[in-house]
Amino acid sequence: MSDVGFVTMGSAASAGDIPEIGVGMLGYAFMGKAHSNAYRKIAYMTWPPPLMPRLVAICGRNEQAVAEAARRYGYERAATDWRSLIADDRVQLFDNGGPNDLHAEPTVAAAEAGKHVVCEKPLATTPAEAEEMLATAETEGVGLMTNFNHRRHDHNMRAKELIQQGMIGRPVFVRGRIGHGRFVVGPSPAGPGRFQCVNSWYMDATEAGGGTVIDNGVHLIDLAAWFMGDEFVSVQGSVSHNFDICERGPDGGPMVKQASNCEDNGFGLFTTPDGRIASLQSSWTQWQGYLHVEIFGTHGWIVVNNDQIQGTVTYQVLRRHGDPSATTTEVPALLKPDPSWRLQLEEFAAALREGRSPSPNGHDGLRAVRLVHALYGSAASGRAESVDTGLPVGRSASPAEPVTADR
């Protein structure tokens, strides 16, 4: 296991002993910046790193902006066509941080070219796209990670650790909510209860695949399945649509241009094969970002409360017949800047080096997309929707080929 800190930087391991992996990055905005920063920090924070990232190329649509991003982040070159990253033999790992509707095609092309792929959440905008992405990666024998970086937040890792230690027994049900309000501009002129929203691809379900449920809700859905250690086989869902895209009116004030077709709040009841339930809500209308998850087990409960200022983990072990044990509240170190992207990419590098499936992997991403669409289907039909839990045809039993110094 790699050590962390300044002390190990003087260890006997040299950079020449560590396999290099060339990175091609699609996207230079928030995610491109976060991932690029993470690659640069892997060797700095963990020595020896599982692999030594080499920032080969970064791609974006704006030629001037992506050239500046390449200079700032330390890439060897910039590009405006993602296909040039696929064609570059120096790129062994394709990092897809593009808009949601640009996840499927480049990822499939990269896998077909024998490149490992990190793809931002959601893995795809539809289950069919996600199935093709996973099947291609498995057929080609390359690694595929879905970037559910919330698994690497310290409070969530601590909650998972407590569950694995048997602290609360078997998880029986989960209640959770996640939200932010960064897409809200202000009140809509359409009337009370409606919001003026930003005018971006996030507000177009054709490009984004949906609204808050497929945006931040997928994190909560993934965490719930991860905590419960099981698949969800049915979903009962409901959504609300209260966002308006506005433009400047004749009087200089906002005027509704069109209503967004993306939901601003989503609610779902997710059921496991043995009848355990997760009750989850995702929101775009919360004033401040938050994550709150309650995990109830046969012998106790855990509460994760992250208000993005300071996260806490509270847990209590119960005795059904007698007084409960003392309630324990921990405040893990909520580091700034957020280290979850580095920890996530470090896990992927380690998985590639060891020839195993990463956590989370492509199946986790496919599962989340299927659950999101089942929720949307249920909201439209008013009935619970069943969820396919099967894997697409591929080489799922075969691990990714380990990365060596000469591959």
Distance (Å, whole) CA 63 – CA 96:
18
What token pair was written down for 406?
Answer: 């000469």
Q: Using omega within 30 degrees of 0 as the cis cutoff, is the peptide bond preceding 324 cis?
A: no
Distance (Å, whole) CA 36 – CA 115:
18
Residue position matching structure tokens 């993005």: 308
Q: How many CB atoms lie within 10 A of CB 77?
A: 17
Q: Is 105 helix (H, G, I), strand (E, B) or coil?
A: helix
Predicted pLDDT at 401: 54
Predicted pLDDT at 14: 59
Predicted pLDDT at 4: 44
Distance (Å, whole) CA 83 – CA 102:
12
Give me the numbers of helices (H) and strands (E) for the chain, helices first please.
Answer: 11, 21
Mean pLDDT by 10 residues, the chain (407 residues): 43 70 96 95 90 97 97 98 98 97 98 98 98 96 97 91 93 96 94 95 95 97 97 98 95 93 98 98 89 93 78 72 70 72 96 95 97 98 96 53 48
Distance (Å, whole) CA 230 – CA 303:
19
Q: How many CB atoms lie within 10 A of CB 167?
A: 18
Domains defined along the chain, listed by start? 3-149 (3.40.50.720), 154-337 (3.30.360.10)
Q: Using omega within 30 degrees of 0 as the cis cutoff, is the peptide bond preceding 337 cis?
A: yes
Q: Answer yes or no: are the C-beta atoms of 213 and 282 closer than 8 Å.
A: yes
The model's pTM is 0.91
Q: Running DSSP on this structure, what letter comes out for residue 19? A: P
Predicted pLDDT at 286: 87
Beta bridge partners of 47: 3
Q: Is 147 helix (H, G, I), strand (E, B) or coil?
A: strand
Distance (Å, whole) CA 134 – CA 215:
20
Q: Answer yes or no: are the C-beta atoms of 371 and 235 closer than 8 Å.
A: yes
What token pair was written down for 373?
Answer: 């669409």
Q: Answer yes or no: are the C-beta atoms of 337 and 207 closer than 8 Å.
A: no
Three-class HEC string of 366-402? HHHHHHHHHHHHHHHHCCCEECCCCCCCCCCCCCCCC
